[in-house]
Amino acid sequence: MKSLDEFIENLKLNLGDNLVSVFAFGSQANVEDAKNNLNLMIVTNQLTAENLYAISKPVRKWVKAKNPVPVIMNRDEWYSSFDVYTIEYADMKENYRLIYGEDLVPSIGINKYFLRLECESELKSLLLKYKNNFLMNINSDREMKKILKNVIKTLIVIFRSVLRLHDRSVPYRAVDIIEHCSEFLSFNKVVMTKLAKMRYENDECNKQELLFMESELLKDIQNILKQVDAMHF
């Protein structure tokens, strides 16, 4: 974890007392020896252009080591975003690791009204993107496979939120999330499971399977959107 330790030291050096908190979130959050692909949240008291300039060099070095660009917020943004980034905050609350400073995660409040609303918004955005990608890439099996894998990744995030809306614990494996979520949403479970295995377990599919999944997925996203839109909490 030398690169992470070095990055934190650079943040402390350049931000001083202005640095409130740094924590990891996402699938790699609790992997102690994770070398890259580590999502970080950085919270400061104030956040100015000068602050961003001061940490831009260590951030670029961190990203060059194959990590995502850190999410950086000031304290006010952190507390005022619970209603906008409800899905993301719910994921953080369930899986994070404090690396430096004040532990702000327990302060997160998840409102089911806003959680359902963000699920609906994400589904509408996903449907629009999928239709556009379908139009532009339908003749390329290779591109369509990439698109389907990205779609199931987003759907798994939404499925996790649906389970939380119903006060259910969220399993780790994508296929288990799909199984549990099928209690609350109607969709083609065979197709969803196959897509999850393609994305997370390196399964392959033939031409006929691909064509079937492409059309079924369009119907499923449309139907899931209707069902989430009808939920009340």
Segment among 16-20, 34-38, 74-78, 172-176 with least mean pLDDT: 34-38
Instruction: Report domain extents, the chain.
Output: 2-107, 112-229
Residue with tokens 């496979």: 145
Residue 34, amino acid: A
Helices marked H in the chain — which ranges?
Answer: 2-15, 49-64, 75-80, 86-94, 112-137, 141-165, 174-181, 189-200, 207-229
Average pLDDT over residues 169-184: 97
Give residue-wise pLDDT tens across range 55-105: 999 999 999 999 999 999 999 999 999 999 999 999 999 999 999 999 999
Q: Which residues neighbour 172 within 8 Å (Cβ) at sequence distance 6 or greater? A: none
Predicted pLDDT of residue 165 = 97
**Residue 147 pLDDT more than 90?**
yes
Average pLDDT of the chain to the nearest whole number: 94
Reported as a pLDDT band with limits 50, 70 and 90, residue 30 is confident
Reported as a pLDDT band with limits 50, 70 and 90, residue 1 is low
Sheet with 19-25: strands ordered across: 71-74, 39-44, 19-25, 96-101
Predicted pLDDT of residue 26 = 85
Please give the CATH superfamily to which domain 2-107 belongs.
Answer: Beta Polymerase, domain 2 (3.30.460.10)
Q: What is the pTM of this model?
A: 0.89
**Residue 36 pLDDT more than 90?**
no
**Residue 31 pLDDT more than 70?**
no
Predicted pLDDT of residue 34 = 60
Strand 19-25, strand 96-101: pairing? antiparallel
Predicted pLDDT of residue 233 = 83
Q: How far is CA 107 from CA 55, 93, 110, 152, 180, in A?
A: 26, 9, 10, 30, 28
Query: Residue 54 and residue 56: Cα distance in Å, rounded?
Result: 6
Mapped onto helix, strand or coil, the DSSP state of residue 69 is coil
